[in-house]
Structures are given as structure tokens and as C-alpha cells.
Amino acid sequence: MSEYIYAGPADIDRAIAFLVALDAEQRNALAVLEIDDAIQEAEGHYEKAVADPSYRPDDDFIARLSGYLAMADDRETP
């Protein structure tokens, strides 16, 4: 997703679903904690985006979101 453009809360929701599935498969405790932190961050942005349609997450989060969505795409179409 080199040219990713944030499209709203649906993108964040999809990333959360990917992260939850990844978390469920993970056996490494440190990785689980890192994924849990990513889920918590994404949920915070999701709640703000749902409450205010003009909300746009910061660029750092959008870069991470792009990565999560790229990994989700890779999983869906191996």
C-alpha cells in the first residue's frame, strides 16, 4: 500500500479485526503485549473517527494503519 489514503473508520475497524486475529494466534508473550497495545491505540482512533467524521488520525498512526492493512491484504490473498 505505497499510496495509501486514509478512508475513514472502516479502515481502522478492518485493521483492528486483523490485529485481533493476529493476537489470537500469537504465542509469544511480548508480541501479544505489543499487539494488544496496537489494538488499544487503534480502538481509540476508531472511537474518535466514529464520533467525528472530520477526524483524521496523525500521520504516524496512518503509516502504521497502512502497514496493518497491507498485512491484512497479504493474509486474505496469499
- Mean pLDDT over residues 57-76, rounded? 95
Q: What is the mean pLDDT of the chain?
A: 94
- pLDDT number for residue 2: 59
Neighbour count for residue 35 (Cβ, 10 Å): 19
CA atoms within 13 A on the CB side of 6: 19
Q: Identify the burial level of 37 via C-beta atoms within 10 angstroms of its C-beta, where 0-12 means exposed, 13-18 middle and 19 or more buried.
A: exposed
- pLDDT number for residue 58: 96
pLDDT at 18 over 50: yes
- Mean pLDDT over residues 23-43, rounded? 96
Q: Residue 47, Cα to own-chain centre: how many angstroms? A: 13
Residue pair 68/18 in contact by the 8 Å Cβ criterion = yes
pLDDT at 3 over 50: yes
